[in-house]
Structure 1
Amino acid sequence: MKDNVASTVVLMLLLFLNIRLLNGESPPGKPTIFKCRSPEKETFTCWWRPGTDGGLPTNYTLTYHKEGETITHECPDYKTSGPNSCYFSKKHTSIWTIYIMTVNATNKMGSNISDPRYVDVTYIVEPDPPENLTLEVKQPEDRKPYLWIKWFPPTLVDVRSGWLTLQYEIRLKPEKAAEWETHFAGQQTQFKILSLYPGQKYLVQVHCKPDHGFWSNWSQESSIQIPSDSPLSGTSHHRLKSYSPRKISGHGRPQPAVFTKAKLIMAQE
């Protein structure tokens, strides 16, 4: 009798499951944590891509623990950085600590879990773009005229205390040109360029990166018209080797520096 009851229960469960599957309902697909970013080495956010929802309302939770600890924590803030994200404020951020995190997806048909993501805040810094990019053609009496470029570090980054050191890269081109010329500015927030073409409108952008991290997005474009009657027209186009900074690969390993020829001169004022 007991065996018959057990068999009946199993058959009913299988029937229920088959009905669910026929209706297109299933456990959720596997989510993926695809990016973690800190704008200033004090806070950070991780984002994930949901898998399929199985045709049912699906709940996502991010849980983590710090390397060497056994206590598991849930994401402290799902709202600040938008959908499918977890934001860690200064209160929840520790430097030189590895966070091991996963995202759990659950619906009425079952659950799924992402592969673990290992995060060290020191190595995921991607600052905001530099701000207040300004351009000016200067024509000193005793020197050749030049284009003077200035900018400010991102507001969130504390560069005065040395907590984060930024390096900058500039790119510029005539408005109708297809390719940008890119030049390394080091840690300075100003840059001097000689030998531009008179009568051309130039577009300029700047971006930055920390010592251990990734390049920011490029800043908004600024533009300037080089006067046609500028003494720049009498300036020969000097050719120098300009230094391009070492790029940081997706694995955090620096790539070799390269040197390229350019029609520019870089100098501090």
Structure 2
Amino acid sequence: MKFDLHTHHDRCGHAQGKISDYIEAAIEAGMHVIGISDHSPYFAHELDQPQPGIAMARSDFPNYVAEVLRLKEQYKDRIEVLLGVESDFYVDQIELYRASYEPYPFDYIIGSVHQTRGVSIFNRNRWKGKNEDEQLDEKKHYYDLIRQSAGSGLFQVLGHIDAMKGYYPDFANISGAEAEIDEALKAVAANDISIEINTSGKTKDVGGWYPSHAILERARHFGVDVTFGSDAHVPERIGDDWELVQKRLREFGFRRWVFFRGKQKVVVPL
């Protein structure tokens, strides 16, 4: 069974194509399950859409849900469409986000740390002028947030858990945060959720998947479940590297991966 849980569309302001384009692309790619998971609004901001090039307007969120549910019904005889969302994780706003999602029948919610200390994880400039100790502190802080997101009870999937390397490949070489990474992975396992193998890193400077092979090996050690997400921002990337990821996971000793329906884990043998 082929599935892809991480997709975007033009509503977020930095992806191309309508939701239906991604569903059609998934059918063409031989997918059995396609998850729609555009970026959540900034629920805590006073403005309805403070960053139009990053996330949808708060007022548009009900329209997003309604469109996915309509398309789920429309395509039910051709492919299973899942209602998801990629949610930001802010420690001080978690209850607001929880309340904002509660009225809707999400199949899953991806929790992603996109900012630390008010700066985007993809901002190359955040590393300028930082010495080794300061860089290590940033990495430890990042994984502590991921650990907290795993324990929040809000998410079924944690998104791209080493994406800080996306535009700063040397992030992967900052040593000393192994304990924090392990604690984050143990929290994922303890809360019976999953991390994603996200193939969009190949479109960034780092040129590879998230997470690294080293983190995947640690994830297997701790009994962490994994899922697949292309993080497609164009329809052509749906299912990108799916078979290669499947092969690599088998090589690492994984025997299964998962997706979520009605927030319940669906196990797919590898």
**Category of TM-score, reference length = shorter chain:** under 0.3
The structure with the largest helix share of the pair is 2
Specify which structure has the bigger relative contact order, considering alpha-carbon pairs within 8 angstroms and separated by 6 or more residues: 2
Given the two structures, how large is their TM-score scaled by the length of structure 1?
Answer: 0.27
